Amino acid sequence: MLSDVPDLTAHLGYWLRQVSNHVSHAFARKLAAKDVTVAEWALMRVLYGEQPTSPSRLAEHMGLTRGAVTKLADRLIAKGLIARQANTSDGRAQTLELTAKGEGFVPELAALADQNESECFAHMPDDDRKALERILRDAVARFGITAIATE
Amino acid sequence: MLSDVPDLTAHLGYWLRQVSNHVSHAFARKLAAKDVTVAEWALMRVLYGEQPTSPSRLAEHMGLTRGAVTKLADRLIAKGLIARQANTSDGRAQTLELTAKGEGFVPELAALADQNESECFAHMPDDDRKALERILRDAVARFGITAIATE
DNA sequence: TATTGTTATACTCTATAACTATA
DNA sequence: TATAGTTATAGAGTATAACAATA
Protein backbone atom coordinates (compact mmCIF):
# COMPACT_ATOMS: atom_id res chain seq x y z
CA MET A 1 0.00 0.00 0.00
CA LEU A 2 1.14 3.51 -0.80
CA SER A 3 2.14 5.90 1.92
CA ASP A 4 0.10 9.01 2.44
CA VAL A 5 2.01 11.56 0.37
CA PRO A 6 0.52 15.06 0.33
CA ASP A 7 -0.52 16.48 -3.00
CA LEU A 8 1.92 18.90 -4.65
CA THR A 9 -0.73 21.57 -4.42
CA ALA A 10 -0.70 21.37 -0.63
CA HIS A 11 2.38 23.57 -0.61
CA LEU A 12 2.57 27.32 -0.89
CA GLY A 13 5.92 26.79 -2.59
CA TYR A 14 4.08 25.08 -5.43
CA TRP A 15 1.70 27.98 -6.02
CA LEU A 16 4.47 30.52 -5.77
CA ARG A 17 6.46 28.70 -8.41
CA GLN A 18 3.46 28.40 -10.73
CA VAL A 19 2.76 32.13 -10.62
CA SER A 20 6.36 33.30 -10.54
CA ASN A 21 7.32 31.10 -13.49
CA HIS A 22 4.37 32.29 -15.52
CA VAL A 23 5.24 35.94 -14.94
CA SER A 24 8.95 35.42 -15.57
CA HIS A 25 8.39 33.40 -18.73
CA ALA A 26 5.98 36.00 -20.08
CA PHE A 27 8.66 38.62 -19.47
CA ALA A 28 11.39 36.43 -20.97
CA ARG A 29 9.35 36.09 -24.18
CA LYS A 30 9.01 39.88 -24.44
CA LEU A 31 12.75 40.34 -23.88
CA ALA A 32 13.58 37.59 -26.37
CA ALA A 33 11.91 39.66 -29.08
CA LYS A 34 14.69 42.20 -28.38
CA ASP A 35 17.35 39.50 -28.23
CA VAL A 36 17.93 39.96 -24.50
CA THR A 37 17.62 37.41 -21.68
CA VAL A 38 16.28 38.11 -18.20
CA ALA A 39 19.76 37.77 -16.67
CA GLU A 40 21.17 40.19 -19.24
CA TRP A 41 18.38 42.64 -18.49
CA ALA A 42 19.03 42.39 -14.77
CA LEU A 43 22.71 43.18 -15.25
CA MET A 44 21.96 46.12 -17.53
CA ARG A 45 19.37 47.40 -15.10
CA VAL A 46 21.86 47.24 -12.24
CA LEU A 47 24.45 49.21 -14.23
CA TYR A 48 21.97 51.86 -15.35
CA GLY A 49 22.77 55.22 -13.80
CA GLU A 50 25.68 53.79 -11.83
CA GLN A 51 29.41 54.33 -11.95
CA PRO A 52 31.50 51.66 -13.72
CA THR A 53 31.29 48.62 -11.44
CA SER A 54 33.61 45.67 -10.83
CA PRO A 55 32.55 42.13 -11.66
CA SER A 56 33.03 41.16 -8.01
CA ARG A 57 30.58 43.79 -6.81
CA LEU A 58 28.09 42.77 -9.46
CA ALA A 59 28.50 39.12 -8.51
CA GLU A 60 27.76 39.90 -4.89
CA HIS A 61 24.84 42.16 -5.72
CA MET A 62 23.28 39.64 -8.10
CA GLY A 63 24.01 36.48 -6.14
CA LEU A 64 26.22 35.04 -8.88
CA THR A 65 29.77 33.76 -8.98
CA ARG A 66 32.44 35.92 -10.60
CA GLY A 67 32.68 33.38 -13.40
CA ALA A 68 28.99 33.70 -14.14
CA VAL A 69 29.30 37.49 -14.32
CA THR A 70 32.21 37.18 -16.75
CA LYS A 71 30.12 34.98 -19.04
CA LEU A 72 27.09 37.25 -18.89
CA ALA A 73 29.29 40.29 -19.47
CA ASP A 74 30.99 38.64 -22.46
CA ARG A 75 27.61 38.24 -24.13
CA LEU A 76 26.54 41.82 -23.44
CA ILE A 77 29.89 43.11 -24.71
CA ALA A 78 29.46 41.07 -27.90
CA LYS A 79 26.09 42.79 -28.35
CA GLY A 80 27.68 46.19 -27.81
CA LEU A 81 25.50 46.91 -24.77
CA ILE A 82 28.17 47.14 -22.08
CA ALA A 83 31.93 47.82 -22.05
CA ARG A 84 34.76 46.41 -19.97
CA GLN A 85 37.55 48.72 -18.86
CA ALA A 86 40.78 48.28 -16.94
CA ASN A 87 41.07 50.04 -13.62
CA THR A 88 43.94 52.48 -13.62
CA SER A 89 44.96 52.13 -9.99
CA ASP A 90 44.76 48.34 -9.62
CA GLY A 91 46.07 46.29 -12.52
CA ARG A 92 43.93 43.29 -11.58
CA ALA A 93 40.64 45.14 -11.46
CA GLN A 94 38.17 45.63 -14.27
CA THR A 95 34.96 47.61 -14.45
CA LEU A 96 31.78 47.17 -16.43
CA GLU A 97 29.50 49.94 -17.60
CA LEU A 98 26.72 50.47 -20.11
CA THR A 99 27.64 51.77 -23.56
CA ALA A 100 25.60 54.62 -25.03
CA LYS A 101 23.69 51.99 -26.98
CA GLY A 102 23.04 49.99 -23.81
CA GLU A 103 21.95 53.06 -21.90
CA GLY A 104 19.49 54.01 -24.58
CA PHE A 105 18.14 50.47 -24.60
CA VAL A 106 17.32 50.24 -20.88
CA PRO A 107 14.21 52.47 -20.93
CA GLU A 108 12.87 50.46 -23.85
CA LEU A 109 13.31 47.22 -21.92
CA ALA A 110 11.93 48.81 -18.77
CA ALA A 111 8.77 49.58 -20.74
CA LEU A 112 8.46 45.85 -21.47
CA ALA A 113 8.81 45.13 -17.76
CA ASP A 114 6.01 47.59 -17.03
CA GLN A 115 3.86 46.09 -19.75
CA ASN A 116 4.42 42.60 -18.41
CA GLU A 117 3.60 43.69 -14.88
CA SER A 118 0.37 45.24 -15.97
CA GLU A 119 -0.63 42.32 -18.19
CA CYS A 120 -0.03 39.92 -15.32
CA PHE A 121 -1.48 41.87 -12.42
CA ALA A 122 -3.94 44.43 -13.74
CA HIS A 123 -6.74 41.92 -13.24
CA MET A 124 -5.95 41.60 -9.56
CA PRO A 125 -8.07 43.52 -7.07
CA ASP A 126 -6.17 46.43 -5.58
CA ASP A 127 -6.35 45.01 -2.08
CA ASP A 128 -4.93 41.71 -3.21
CA ARG A 129 -2.08 43.37 -5.05
CA LYS A 130 -1.19 45.36 -1.97
CA ALA A 131 -1.49 42.36 0.33
CA LEU A 132 0.63 40.23 -2.00
CA GLU A 133 3.39 42.82 -2.15
CA ARG A 134 3.42 43.29 1.60
CA ILE A 135 3.53 39.54 2.30
CA LEU A 136 6.29 38.97 -0.23
CA ARG A 137 8.36 41.89 1.04
CA ASP A 138 7.99 40.55 4.58
CA ALA A 139 9.16 37.13 3.43
CA VAL A 140 12.20 38.56 1.63
CA ALA A 141 13.15 40.42 4.79
CA ARG A 142 12.59 37.36 6.93
CA PHE A 143 14.63 35.14 4.62
CA GLY A 144 17.42 37.71 4.74
CA ILE A 145 17.63 37.85 0.95
CA THR A 146 20.08 40.53 -0.14
CA ALA A 147 20.90 39.64 -3.74
CA ILE A 148 18.52 40.23 -6.64
CA ALA A 149 17.32 37.04 -8.29
CA THR A 150 18.11 36.90 -11.98
CA GLU A 151 16.83 33.48 -12.96
CA MET B 1 20.26 62.84 -18.83
CA LEU B 2 18.89 59.46 -17.89
CA SER B 3 15.29 58.55 -18.52
CA ASP B 4 13.07 57.86 -15.58
CA VAL B 5 13.29 54.08 -15.31
CA PRO B 6 11.31 52.56 -12.46
CA ASP B 7 13.19 50.61 -9.84
CA LEU B 8 13.18 46.83 -10.18
CA THR B 9 11.44 46.62 -6.83
CA ALA B 10 8.45 48.49 -8.19
CA HIS B 11 7.21 45.26 -9.75
CA LEU B 12 5.29 42.47 -8.06
CA GLY B 13 7.02 40.13 -10.49
CA TYR B 14 10.32 41.00 -8.84
CA TRP B 15 9.11 40.14 -5.34
CA LEU B 16 7.50 36.94 -6.52
CA ARG B 17 10.74 35.83 -8.13
CA GLN B 18 12.77 36.67 -5.04
CA VAL B 19 10.56 34.59 -2.77
CA SER B 20 9.86 31.77 -5.21
CA ASN B 21 13.55 31.35 -6.05
CA HIS B 22 14.51 31.29 -2.40
CA VAL B 23 11.96 28.59 -1.60
CA SER B 24 12.81 26.53 -4.69
CA HIS B 25 16.55 26.75 -4.11
CA ALA B 26 16.17 25.74 -0.50
CA PHE B 27 14.19 22.71 -1.67
CA ALA B 28 16.69 21.94 -4.43
CA ARG B 29 19.50 21.85 -1.86
CA LYS B 30 17.56 19.38 0.28
CA LEU B 31 16.86 17.17 -2.75
CA ALA B 32 20.48 17.40 -3.88
CA ALA B 33 21.52 15.70 -0.65
CA LYS B 34 19.51 12.72 -1.95
CA ASP B 35 20.95 13.09 -5.47
CA VAL B 36 17.62 14.17 -6.96
CA THR B 37 16.76 17.38 -8.84
CA VAL B 38 13.49 19.29 -8.58
CA ALA B 39 12.46 18.22 -12.09
CA GLU B 40 13.21 14.60 -11.25
CA TRP B 41 11.17 14.89 -8.06
CA ALA B 42 8.25 16.40 -9.96
CA LEU B 43 8.22 13.53 -12.44
CA MET B 44 8.41 10.93 -9.69
CA ARG B 45 5.65 12.68 -7.76
CA VAL B 46 3.43 12.69 -10.83
CA LEU B 47 3.95 8.95 -11.37
CA TYR B 48 3.33 8.07 -7.73
CA GLY B 49 0.15 6.07 -7.31
CA GLU B 50 -0.63 6.25 -11.02
CA GLN B 51 -0.79 3.68 -13.77
CA PRO B 52 2.17 3.46 -16.14
CA THR B 53 2.02 6.68 -18.16
CA SER B 54 3.22 7.61 -21.63
CA PRO B 55 5.93 10.24 -22.16
CA SER B 56 3.48 12.30 -24.22
CA ARG B 57 0.98 12.49 -21.40
CA LEU B 58 3.71 13.40 -18.95
CA ALA B 59 5.03 16.06 -21.31
CA GLU B 60 1.61 17.62 -21.55
CA HIS B 61 0.97 17.41 -17.83
CA MET B 62 4.35 18.90 -16.93
CA GLY B 63 4.55 21.52 -19.66
CA LEU B 64 7.64 19.94 -21.22
CA THR B 65 8.48 18.70 -24.68
CA ARG B 66 8.60 14.96 -25.28
CA GLY B 67 12.34 15.22 -25.76
CA ALA B 68 12.74 16.80 -22.35
CA VAL B 69 10.73 13.99 -20.77
CA THR B 70 12.92 11.39 -22.48
CA LYS B 71 16.03 13.00 -21.07
CA LEU B 72 14.61 13.31 -17.56
CA ALA B 73 13.37 9.72 -17.74
CA ASP B 74 16.79 8.48 -18.90
CA ARG B 75 18.36 9.92 -15.78
CA LEU B 76 15.75 8.44 -13.46
CA ILE B 77 16.09 5.06 -15.16
CA ALA B 78 19.87 5.20 -14.71
CA LYS B 79 19.24 5.77 -11.01
CA GLY B 80 16.84 2.82 -10.89
CA LEU B 81 13.93 4.99 -9.78
CA ILE B 82 11.61 4.54 -12.75
CA ALA B 83 11.22 1.95 -15.51
CA ARG B 84 10.34 2.22 -19.18
CA GLN B 85 8.14 -0.44 -20.74
CA ALA B 86 6.87 -1.14 -24.22
CA ASN B 87 3.14 -0.99 -24.76
CA THR B 88 1.81 -4.35 -25.94
CA SER B 89 -0.95 -3.04 -28.19
CA ASP B 90 0.92 -0.21 -29.94
CA GLY B 91 4.50 -0.87 -30.94
CA ARG B 92 5.38 2.83 -30.93
CA ALA B 93 4.15 3.55 -27.44
CA GLN B 94 6.15 3.40 -24.24
CA THR B 95 5.13 3.85 -20.63
CA LEU B 96 6.97 5.07 -17.58
CA GLU B 97 6.33 3.96 -14.02
CA LEU B 98 8.08 4.05 -10.67
CA THR B 99 10.18 1.06 -9.66
CA ALA B 100 9.75 -0.38 -6.16
CA LYS B 101 12.84 1.58 -5.20
CA GLY B 102 11.38 4.77 -6.67
CA GLU B 103 8.05 4.22 -4.97
CA GLY B 104 9.69 3.75 -1.62
CA PHE B 105 11.72 6.91 -2.18
CA VAL B 106 8.79 9.25 -2.86
CA PRO B 107 7.54 9.51 0.74
CA GLU B 108 11.08 10.29 1.87
CA LEU B 109 11.35 13.12 -0.65
CA ALA B 110 7.84 14.29 0.18
CA ALA B 111 9.00 14.66 3.78
CA LEU B 112 11.71 17.02 2.54
CA ALA B 113 9.09 19.02 0.68
CA ASP B 114 7.06 19.30 3.88
CA GLN B 115 10.12 20.28 5.84
CA ASN B 116 11.01 22.95 3.31
CA GLU B 117 7.48 24.31 3.32
CA SER B 118 7.47 24.59 7.04
CA GLU B 119 10.95 26.13 7.24
CA CYS B 120 9.95 28.73 4.69
CA PHE B 121 6.45 29.58 5.81
CA ALA B 122 6.05 28.63 9.47
CA HIS B 123 7.02 32.16 10.45
CA MET B 124 4.20 33.64 8.42
CA PRO B 125 1.03 34.71 10.25
CA ASP B 126 -1.82 32.35 9.55
CA ASP B 127 -3.90 35.04 7.87
CA ASP B 128 -1.07 35.93 5.54
CA ARG B 129 -0.47 32.33 4.59
CA LYS B 130 -4.15 31.92 3.76
CA ALA B 131 -4.32 35.18 1.84
CA LEU B 132 -1.18 34.32 -0.10
CA GLU B 133 -2.51 30.93 -1.10
CA ARG B 134 -5.84 32.34 -2.17
CA ILE B 135 -4.29 35.14 -4.22
CA LEU B 136 -1.85 32.78 -5.93
CA ARG B 137 -4.56 30.20 -6.69
CA ASP B 138 -6.70 32.96 -8.18
CA ALA B 139 -3.80 34.08 -10.35
CA VAL B 140 -3.11 30.54 -11.58
CA ALA B 141 -6.77 30.20 -12.54
CA ARG B 142 -6.79 33.60 -14.22
CA PHE B 143 -3.59 32.85 -16.16
CA GLY B 144 -5.13 29.58 -17.30
CA ILE B 145 -2.10 27.61 -16.15
CA THR B 146 -2.71 23.89 -16.54
CA ALA B 147 0.76 22.32 -16.44
CA ILE B 148 2.78 21.94 -13.27
CA ALA B 149 5.95 24.02 -13.21
CA THR B 150 9.08 21.95 -12.69
CA GLU B 151 11.80 24.56 -12.96
C1' DT C 1 50.20 34.73 -0.03
C1' DA C 2 45.82 36.89 -1.09
C1' DT C 3 42.88 38.92 -4.47
C1' DT C 4 40.76 39.93 -9.10
C1' DG C 5 39.20 38.27 -12.96
C1' DT C 6 39.08 34.79 -16.68
C1' DT C 7 39.02 30.25 -18.45
C1' DA C 8 38.01 25.34 -18.48
C1' DT C 9 34.81 22.05 -17.51
C1' DA C 10 30.53 20.16 -16.33
C1' DC C 11 25.68 19.60 -15.39
C1' DT C 12 20.68 20.88 -15.49
C1' DC C 13 16.91 22.62 -17.96
C1' DT C 14 14.86 23.48 -22.02
C1' DA C 15 13.91 23.94 -26.93
C1' DT C 16 13.81 22.76 -32.01
C1' DA C 17 14.32 19.72 -35.47
C1' DA C 18 15.75 15.45 -37.52
C1' DC C 19 15.14 10.72 -37.33
C1' DT C 20 13.21 5.76 -36.51
C1' DA C 21 9.69 2.65 -35.97
C1' DT C 22 5.08 1.79 -36.23
C1' DA C 23 0.31 2.75 -37.38
C1' DT D 1 1.00 10.21 -44.02
C1' DA D 2 0.53 10.74 -39.09
C1' DT D 3 2.01 9.59 -34.55
C1' DA D 4 5.13 8.11 -30.53
C1' DG D 5 9.29 8.36 -28.98
C1' DT D 6 14.29 9.11 -29.22
C1' DT D 7 18.37 11.42 -30.60
C1' DA D 8 21.19 15.33 -32.01
C1' DT D 9 22.25 19.81 -31.31
C1' DA D 10 22.25 24.12 -29.11
C1' DG D 11 22.00 27.73 -25.77
C1' DA D 12 20.98 29.75 -21.12
C1' DG D 13 22.06 29.51 -16.44
C1' DT D 14 24.83 28.08 -12.97
C1' DA D 15 28.67 26.04 -10.30
C1' DT D 16 33.50 24.52 -9.01
C1' DA D 17 38.12 24.66 -9.65
C1' DA D 18 42.32 25.83 -11.99
C1' DC D 19 44.90 29.57 -13.66
C1' DA D 20 47.29 34.25 -14.71
C1' DA D 21 48.29 38.69 -13.39
C1' DT D 22 48.85 41.76 -9.86
C1' DA D 23 49.02 43.30 -5.12
* Rg of chain B (C-alpha set): 19
Number of domains in chain A: 1
CA of residue A114 to C1' of nucleotide C23, angstroms = 50
Q: Which residue of A has its CA nearest to B42?
A: A8
The residue among B133, B143, B108, B131 whose CA lies nearest residue B31 is: B108
Backbone angles phi, psi at B142, to 5 degrees: -65, -40
pLDDT, tens digit, 9 for 90 and up, residues B81-130: 999 999 989 999 999 999 999 999 999 999 999 999 999 999 999 999 99
Residue B75 lies in a domain: yes
Q: What is the mean pLDDT of residues A12-40?
A: 97
Q: What is the mean pLDDT of residues B31-46?
A: 97
Residue B13 lies in a domain: yes
Residue B18 lies in a domain: yes
Distance, in Å, from the CA atom of A115 to the CA atom of A122, rounded to the nearest integer, reads: 10
pLDDT, tens digit, 9 for 90 and up, residues B51-68: 999 999 999 999 999 999
Residue B124 lies in a domain: yes
CA of residue B36 to C1' of nucleotide C11, angstroms = 13
Q: Cβ contacts (< 8 Å) between A12 and chain B: which residues?
A: 23, 117, 120-121, 129, 132-133, 136
Distance, in Å, from the CA atom of B114 to the CA atom of B27, rounded to the nearest integer, reads: 10
Distance, in Å, from the CA atom of B62 to the CA atom of B39, rounded to the nearest integer, reads: 9
Residue B121 lies in a domain: yes
Helix, strand or coil, per DSSP, at residue A40: helix
Residue of B3, B16, B128 for testing the chain A interface, max A β-carbons within 10 Å: B16
Please check whether strand D approaches the CB of A72 to within 7 Å: yes
Confidence band (pLDDT; 50, 70, 90) for A7?
confident
Confidence band (pLDDT; 50, 70, 90) for B3?
confident
- Give the CATH number, domain containing residue B115: 1.10.10.10
Q: Where on the phi/psi map is residue B87: left (φ > 0), alpha (ψ -120 to 50), or beta?
A: beta
Distance, in Å, from the CA atom of A113 to the CA atom of A66, rounded to the nearest integer, reads: 26
The residue among B16, B38, B25, B131 whose CA lies nearest residue A22 is: B16
Contact A31, A109 (CB under 8 A): yes
Domain extent at residue A129:
9-143
